[in-house]
Amino acid sequence: MIRPRAWVAEPAAFRLPAVARARVLVVILAALVASCSPDDGRTPSVSRLADARIRLVPVAELEQPVAMAVRPGDRALYVAEKVGRVVALSAGSDPRVVLDLTHRVSLGSEQGLLGLAFAPSGRYLYVDFTDTSGDTHVSEFAFDDEGADLASERQVLFVEQPYSNHNGGALAFGPDGHLYVALGDGGSGGDPRGNAQSLSTLLGKLLRISPRPSKGERYSIPPDNPFVGRAGARPEIWAYGLRNPWRFSFDEATGDLWIGDVGQSAWEEIDLEPAGSSGGSNFGWDRLEGTHPFEGTPVPGSIPPIYEYAHGDGSCAVTAGYVYRGERIPDLAGAFVFGDYCRGVLEAFVPRDGRATQARALGPRVDALASFGQDARGELYVLSLAGTVFQIVT
C-alpha cells in the first residue's frame, strides 16, 4: 500500500482572506517514528487498543468545518465549510479558498455544503450541497493547483428533497474508482414516505456511479451495480435501508465499507459491508432502528449493524470515522474510530470476524463532532462544527 507523505504544518502564520472569516492556528506536528508490523493487505495486525492514548492538536479554526478530503499527489488538506467554501491548508503557504459557493447553499441546520471528494486522477473536485431551495446537488469542477474552475461546473446529480433534514451528503471514491454518494431518507421523522425501503427512489440510499459523462448522460452506471436491469429499481443504488448515512468511509487496507447511520430517537448504528460485496445490502430502516423493531415487520435478509448504541447518555447522532491505518499511533492500528455529535467523546472498537470487539472511549471530547478526515498517510483528523479542525496524535 503506497502512502504519499502526510501534510505537516510548518511554523508559518496561516491567515485566510477576510471573506473566509476564518482564523487558522499555527501548529507544528512533530514527526513520530513508529514501528508497525507488515500486513497481508486483508487482515492487518491489530495493536493494543486498550493501551492507546491519544490527544487532539488544533490545526485550524474555520467556519463550520464539515468534511475533509485529500487530492492525489497534493500535500494540502482540503476542508469543506458548511457555509459553502472549500479551503486548502498547505504547509508554508497561506490558506486559500479554492471554491466559494456561499451564495448558492442553504444555511439550514442539516443543509449546506456537506461533502467533497477528488477524482482518483486529481483533475476533478466533486461537492455535495443543498441549494437555497433545499435540494441536493452533486457538482463537478475541473481542478488544478490553482483551485476549482468555477466556469467548468457540471451538475452530475440533482435530487429533490421533500424535507429539510436527512440529506446525507458524504462523497467518496471507492477502491473500484467509482463515486459513492450518501443520501438520507428525505427527512421529517420515521420516513413517512417509505423512501428507505423503496428501490424506486434515490433517497435513503448509498449510490455508486461513474461520474464522468457518457453517451450523452451526465454519468454512467457501473454494469455490476446490483439493481441494473431490475424493473422499477434505480440502477444507481448500491445499498438501501438507510435513514441518514451522515458519514461513510473505506478502509484503505482492506477496502471494507463503513457507514454511520443516524438513528431516530433511541439507537445509533454503524454498518459494515465487507470488501468484495456485490452490493444490494438492505440495512433495515425503517423496519428496524439498529437491531430493534421500528415500523412494520423486519425485512428478511436485512443486514444488522456491526455496532449500535443507545441514546440516554447524551448521545444523539453517530459520526462515523475511519479504520486507523496511520503510523503515529501503533496501539490504534486496525481500530475503527468514531464519535457522537452530541456526546462528543472519541471512541473506537476493533472489528473481528464481523463483530465489534474491545470497544472503548479514547478520552478526548469534541463539541459538535461533525466529521472525521484522513490524510494521505492514514492519520486522522476531527472536525467540529464549532470551528476547530484537530489532528489525532499520541
Q: Is the pLDDT of residue 116 over 50?
A: yes
Q: Do the domain assignments include residue 11?
A: no
- Identify the residue with better confidence: 39 or 295: 295
Q: Do the domain assignments include residue 12?
A: no
Question: How far apart (Å, rounded) are the C-alpha atoms in residues 195 and 172?
Answer: 23
**Count of Cβ atoms closer than 10 Å to residue 95 Cβ:** 21
Q: Torsion angle, CA of 118/119/124/127, rounded to 10 degrees? A: -50
Question: What percent of the chain clears pLDDT 90, i.e. is strictly above it?
Answer: 86
Question: How far apart (Å, rounded) are the C-alpha atoms in residues 143 and 157?
Answer: 19
pLDDT at 47: 56
**Which residues, 6 or more positions from 255, have their beta carbon under 8 angstroms from its beta carbon?**
174, 175, 275, 276
Range of the domain at 37: 18-393
Q: Is the pLDDT of residue 16 over 50?
A: no
The pLDDT mean for the chain works out to 90
Q: Do the domain assignments include residue 94?
A: yes
Tally of structural domains, the chain: 1
Q: Do the domain assignments include residue 3?
A: no
Q: What CATH number is attached to the domain comprising 197?
A: 2.120.10.30
Q: Do the domain assignments include residue 31?
A: yes
pLDDT at 92: 73
| Candidate from 13-17, 71-75, 211-215, 348-352 with smallest mean pLDDT | 13-17
pLDDT digits (tens, 9 = 90+) for 126-170: 999 999 999 999 999 999 999 999 999 999 999 999 999 999 999
Q: Do the domain assignments include residue 10?
A: no
pLDDT at 249: 98
pTM score of the predicted model: 0.90
Q: Do the domain assignments include residue 13?
A: no
Q: Do the domain assignments include residue 8?
A: no
Over residues 281-285, mean pLDDT: 98
- Identify the residue with better confidence: 35 or 204: 204
